[in-house]
Structures are given as structure tokens and as C-alpha cells.
Structure 1
Amino acid sequence: MVNCGRNFVPDVEFCGYCITHPSESKINFRIQTRGSLPAVEPFRKGLNDLMGVCQHVLDTFEKSMRKYRAQREEEMQ
């Protein structure tokens, strides 16, 4: 998902990540930018965009669950 996000930021030359080990809760990120843009700026933007995507998925899921439960209640009556 991080690699997909770099397509929207023209000043990012490379973006990648690796998980050090499945048993560890650590992720290493590498962001290489063009010019004088600090890597922290596209990193923050990417995280904010990811939070927006996650919120949309959660909202869509909850809406579908409400609809499903309402249909089940109608069928039970």
C-alpha cells in the first residue's frame, strides 16, 4: 500500500517497507525524495491517506452489517 501511494507524490523517487520478522511489531520504511523535500512529509501524507482509506472501509463494513441485520430481523418476523 505504501508503494501505491508514491504514485501520487511526484517528488517521491522510491518508497518501500520491510517487516523485520513476523514475531516483531516493527516495520522499516525507506522513502527517497527528489530535491530538498524531507522524507517525513510524504510519509505523514501517506499515513493520513491510509487512515482515510481504513475509515472508509470500516464505515462501509458497518453500513453493510446494519443492512444485513435489518434484513435478518425482517425475515425472522
Structure 2
Amino acid sequence: MAHRETEILRPVGTGPANGEIAQRLLVSEATVKTHAKRLMSTLSLASRVQAVVAAHESGLVAPGAHRVTGEHPDAGTYGR
């Protein structure tokens, strides 16, 4: 999988829409869609739900990751 496809898979795994991903990565929504289609083809995925599962199973996204930031809501709070 190409670097940019990995950059797209991580936020796809947390659930935001293509437009939100595009804003965060400073690319067009069409670019996000293109990379998402390519990564789904590369990974033989039939749906975005499968892409979410793949992102979690690969470790790109931690369980409970925040939809917008991609970080776990408790990240950095341990030991406080």
C-alpha cells in the first residue's frame, strides 16, 4: 500500500466523511476518494466498513480512537 493510501486509511478507520479527511490532509475530496478506492482495491475490500475494520486490525487506529483527531480520548491522561 502506498504511503498516501496509508494516510487515508488511518482517518477512514475513525469514521469521518471524505470531506473532513480532505480538510485535515489539505487535499481535495476527489483525492481522498481516489486514494480510498485504490486502497480498497489493494486490500480487496468491498466496503468502507471493511476499511474501518482493516485500519483497526492493522494497528493504524487504536480501539476507541476519536473521530476527528484519531487519538484515543484518554491518550496522555494516564498517570495524572
- Whether the TM-score (by the shorter chain) exceeds 0.5 is no
Q: So what's the TM-score if we normalise by structure 2? A: 0.30
Which is bigger in relative contact order (C-alpha 8 A, separation at least 6)?
Answer: 2
Higher strand share: 1
Q: Which has the higher helix share?
A: 1
Q: Could you state the TM-score of these two structures normalised by the residue count of structure 1?
A: 0.31
Larger radius of gyration: 1
